[in-house]
Structure 1
């Protein structure tokens, strides 16, 4: 088992190109079913996840490939 707070300390990496995306800022939770449905990575230009443009990256839970000791691996197609 892993706590959501522990997940926030792990770097998110895209396995398609090896790019480090960032750290989890928030979670989207389905309250009716009690499940996490997505993770939220703050957009570029934000300071501490609060100041800056609202270009947050939302990654569906189904796109998480592996949660490791130091990183979370995801499989997503990034827009250029």
Structure 2
């Protein structure tokens, strides 16, 4: 079993370009199923989303996660730019 604190300690790396995106600052959880629906990266000054979402946060749907390793989480975010954008990314089929 994986703890939230274990996830937060891992770096998020984009498989598209090998770039480090940051670390997890928040999680979106489906309250009906109890499953994580997405990871939130970036945006300082908030404590687990208690004060709302910042404009510089990136939401990555769970389906875009390729692999969770011991030190990193590999994701596929094909449209990621140098600056964070407040939108969700969808994995290409």
TM-score by length of 1: 0.84
Q: What secondary structure sits across from 2:16 in the alignment?
A: coil
Deviation at 1:61, TM superposition (A): 0.3
Between Structure 1 and Structure 2, the one with more strand by share is 1
TM-score by length of 2: 0.73
Give the aligned partner of residue 76 of structure 2. Answer: 75
Unpaired runs of 5+ in structure 1?
44-48
State the alpha-carbon separation in 1 of the partners of residues 56 and 18 from structure 2: 21
Runs of 4+ in 1 over 6 A off after TM superposition: none
State the alpha-carbon separation in 1 of the partners of residues 35 and 14 from structure 2: 23
Give the aligned partner of residue 89 of structure 2. Answer: none
Report the number of matched residues: 74
Give the aligned partner of residue 45 of structure 2. Answer: 50
Which digits, 9 at most, give the CA deviation of each residue in 1:13-42, with x for residues without a partner?
A: 000000000000000000011110000001
State the alpha-carbon separation in 2 of the partners of residues 50 and 26 from structure 1: 12
Unpaired runs of 5+ in structure 2?
47-53, 83-93
Q: Within 5 A, what are the aligned runs for 1:23-34?
A: 23-34=23-34
